[in-house]
Structure 1
Amino acid sequence: MIVVTGATGNVGRTLVRLLTEAGEPVTAVSRNITGSDVPRGVPAVAADLADPASLRPALDGADAMFLLISGNLTAAVGDPSGVVSDLLDDAKARGVGRIVLLSSQGVATRPDSPSHGSMGQSVEDAVRRSGMDWTILRPGGFASNAYAWAESVRTRRTVAAPFGDVGLPFIDPADIAEVAAAALRVDGHAGQVYELTGPALTTPRQRAEAIGDAVGEPVRFIEQTREEARAQMLEFMPEPVVETTLAIIGEPTPAEQRISPDVERILGRAPRAFADWARRNAAAFR
């Protein structure tokens, strides 16, 4: 049985569906999950990873786990590595032998950033020390970050963002979920770290255009200044996260703009383009 934490998120929801369709027994875990959030027949367990004991009911009979460390956990406990170590000890004691961690590209590209690098590295280190077969996924930016534009596209057919012509290889969360499913179900991924990106660099201006194409109406791009974007982001993100995020989207390193071959190598196909994600999710922007 496979436990999926973060089961109601952009990656976890798809991962639960993929595993279920493949005939795998799955238990879905999230803080506020209900039975209506998961496919029929999938047990839903409400648990908070800040309290490892709350996860124990989901671990009975499990042999593999997908682990997502949310911003809520980090906000609650600071450095989450100690909590993760306790959680992994508990999981191993109950028979879990395989773990797939959703980490971040920033662990490698922004090692000096507390929010993107050092904290993520401490969690990865805890997973490596767990004594289980582990696989670490390091995606770059998610295509689903564009949901932040949904309200302005619906009401004004506009997108406002900084650095309009700086490209990054955003990845479709569905591709992350497919790679996670492979690592959870198929041998040969233990001890691997996979960098996950989309197939090409896309700029905010291009992503706005792709959303317009998906909804069938032009979407006007409005370029923000760095300070305008910073002020907006500070309304819902801690300052260190804002500063690192602005650095990544405004002055990405060569590593952050690199197209990784890992998705294609694992899935046998190229990763999905941002335009594909926009078409599948056009209803959110109409």
Structure 2
Amino acid sequence: MILVTGATGTIGREVLRGLPAGVPVRVMAREPSRVVGAPDGTETVAGDYTDPGSLERALRGVRRAFVLTSRVGGDDDARFVRAARSAGVRHLVKLSAAAVADGGAHDLITRWHRANEELLRGSGMEWTVLRPRAFMSNTLSWAASIGSDRVVRTLYGHSVNVCVDPRDVAAAAVCALTEDGHEGRVHTLTGPEPISAVEQTAQLGRLLGAPLRFQELSPEQARAALSRRHPSSVVEALLEGAERQRAGAKARAEDTVLRLTGRPARTFLTWARDHITAFGGGPDAAGAGRHGPSGGLRAG
């Protein structure tokens, strides 16, 4: 039995879709009604990291588990690891972050991921760590301003990140959950090439059939914008991460997706084309992005 947590989120949904037919799967979710796209025969149970009884029920009979937590600074991982060890789970596949390996990264989010990785290593169970760079889907936060005034606003428009398609992260997780040989391994997951927000903006504009304007925010403006969505400690961590990106810490591409799945990591253009409706585009816009001239864009 494989247990999937975080199945209502960006990565967990794709993990569910990628699991092969015939594999016994259980999903733990706070709101089971929100779980969609699960394979036929998937068992869905209500569970919460803060509820030991629900963890015990969710983990009963589980051999491998996909662990995704999001409460930065919290002890959800410690609670889950204790329950998994008690339940006799053999192997945990943990979603972490590539910044853990960045020697200059000491922000709150990275320290939390590092502590959770150390917890996993000391658990006595087999483990696999997945360390993705930023998700391409983070650009969905631009959809509102693109729709309202055809503009993208963010920090450091020319700094680059080898951002990764969430579907590729999920595919790596499926490999670790269904194959032997991933025990004790760390998989760093990136896209095929570094790309800047300015380049992403240009590619989205091309797919939409109308140029978009890029407006670079100052750190103060970015802090104000982020503070509307995150607590101050997380805001400062995100701003520190942006500074590391500007310094070039997030520009190195890895071939891990190719090695694990047998196919190259998807480009940002591919991700954007597949999600263009979220930015106000339609099927015609997606088709133009696929078949039209490249215009000098880095189109994979």
Q: Same fold (TM over 0.5)?
A: yes
* 8 Å Cα contact 2:8/2:34 also seen in 1: no
SS at match of 2:160: coil
**For the structure 1 residues 255 and 156, does the alpha-carbon distance in structure 2 shift closer, same or farther, using more than 3 Å as the test?**
closer
Runs of 4+ in 1 over 6 A off after TM superposition: none
AA paired with 2:266? R
Q: What CA distance in whole angstroms lies between the structure 2 residues aligned with 1:23 and 1:213?
A: 41
Instruction: Quote the offset at 1:41 in angstroms.
Output: 3.4
Q: What CA distance in whole angstroms lies between the structure 1 residues aligned with 2:110 and 2:120?
A: 15
SS at match of 1:130: coil
Alignment of structure 1 residues 1-286 onto 2, 5 Å: 1-19=1-19, 21-34=20-33, 37-39=36-38, 40-71=40-71, 74=72, 78-80=73-75, 83-109=76-102, 113-252=106-245, 253-286=247-280
AA paired with 2:171? E
**For the structure 1 residues 218 and 254, does the alpha-carbon distance in structure 2 shift closer, same or farther, using more than 3 Å as the test?**
closer
What percent of counterpart residues are identical? 37
* 8 Å Cα contact 2:105/2:241 also seen in 1: no
Q: What CA distance in whole angstroms lies between the structure 2 residues aligned with 1:200 and 1:248?
A: 19
**For the structure 1 residues 30 and 217, does the alpha-carbon distance in structure 2 shift closer, same or farther, using more than 3 Å as the test?**
farther
How many residues align structurally?
278
**For the structure 1 residues 211 and 44, does the alpha-carbon distance in structure 2 shift closer, same or farther, using more than 3 Å as the test?**
farther
Q: What CA distance in whole angstroms lies between the structure 2 residues aligned with 1:139 and 1:213?
A: 27
Structure 1 spans left out of the alignment, 5+ residues: none
Instruction: Quote the offset at 1:56 in angstroms.
Output: 2.3
Q: What CA distance in whole angstroms lies between the structure 1 residues aligned with 2:259 and 2:271?
A: 20
Q: What CA distance in whole angstroms lies between the structure 1 residues aligned with 2:55 and 2:147?
A: 38
Q: What CA distance in whole angstroms lies between the structure 2 residues aligned with 1:197 and 1:45?
A: 32
Instruction: Quote the offset at 1:32 in angstroms.
Output: 2.2
Aligned match of 2:283: none
My pick for the range that moved more, 8-17 or 245-254, is: 245-254
Q: What CA distance in whole angstroms lies between the structure 2 residues aligned with 1:31 and 1:111?
A: 35
Q: What CA distance in whole angstroms lies between the structure 1 residues aligned with 2:196 and 2:42?
A: 38
Structure 2 spans left out of the alignment, 5+ residues: 281-300
Instruction: Quote the offset at 1:4 in angstroms.
Output: 0.7
Instruction: Quote the offset at 1:254 in angstroms.
Output: 4.5
My pick for the range that moved more, 50-59 or 120-129, is: 50-59
Q: Which has the larger radius of gyration?
A: 2
Q: What CA distance in whole angstroms lies between the structure 2 residues aligned with 1:17 and 1:56?
A: 25
My pick for the range that moved more, 245-254 or 275-284, is: 245-254
AA paired with 1:156? D
Q: What CA distance in whole angstroms lies between the structure 2 residues aligned with 1:175 and 1:43?
A: 24
AA paired with 2:81? L
